[in-house]
A and B are shown apart, each in its own frame.
Chain A
């Protein structure tokens, strides 16, 4: 069965600092990987996705993520965090071939200090 681990429950960074959120997955085949962001009481917004090809993917709002098969990781990065980036971030893996069933990590709450 597929699974996703986000080791950091809560991260605090200063505005303007760089950010890296960790995600490790367990899946037998080539995974479909996603990062979503959720502001309090809101739905999930897709930041970026990896299906195949270039292992460094660019997303919205200045985010990027790198797929590393050897480490089973798909870490999210941003070079300079803005106060508006404070939110909950979920990494998810979709079943290969369908992506109908997403398995989410437990989420990382990002706090940004001014």
Chain B
């Protein structure tokens, strides 16, 4: 099973709202990722978690707050977003580096976020 699930599929939020995106995988992967994808553009890496610890933050604004409560779950907490943050948010997972295992990334279907 190479499935990564994301909820919700669609989210509309105002600029003063607080919401969260959820990502889950049951492949035993110990690395998880958040990407942002604007229309007609490639995905842009936001955060990487490895063994439940934040290992990469690509200078993402603090209104995006990631959380990895356990090895299967990854959250992205959203607060005070701007309309330009509207995008498709993709989660991915892989084997952790250094394990000697093949670590291609598997992506979820994404959450379409609209900020009004």
Query: Which A residues have a C-beta under 8 Å from some C-beta of B?
Result: 34, 36, 41-46, 49, 51, 90, 97-102, 104-107
Contact = CB atoms under 8 A, between A and B. Distances in A.
Contacts of B92: 44
A45 B110 CA distance: 12
A97 B97 contact: yes
Contacts, number: 61
Given A34-B104, A43-B90, 18 more contacts: A34-B105, A36-B107, A42-B109, A43-B4, A43-B107, A43-B109, A44-B90, A44-B92, A90-B42, A97-B97, A98-B103, A99-B104, A99-B105, A100-B56, A101-B48, A106-B41, A106-B42, A107-B40
A70 B55 CA distance: 33
Interface centre among B41, B56, B107, B112 (most CB of A within 10 A): B107
A20 B11 CA distance: 37
Interface string B89-112: 010101001100011111111101
B74 interface: no
A36 B110 CA distance: 15
B43 interface: yes
A51 B102 contact: yes
A100 B104 CA distance: 9
Contact of A100 (B4, B41, B55): B55
Contacts of A49: 102, 104
The 3 A-B pairs at the shortest CB distance, nearest first, are namely: A104-B42, A98-B97, A43-B107
B21 interface: no
A101 B102 CA distance: 14
Nearest to B33: A100
For chain B, give the interface size range: 20 to 34
B71 interface: no
B23 to A, nearest CB: 11
Interface in B63-95: 88, 90, 92, 94
Nearest to B88: A41
B45 A101 contact: yes
Interface string B1-39: 000101000000000000000000000000101000000
Contact of B43 (A99, A100, A104): A104
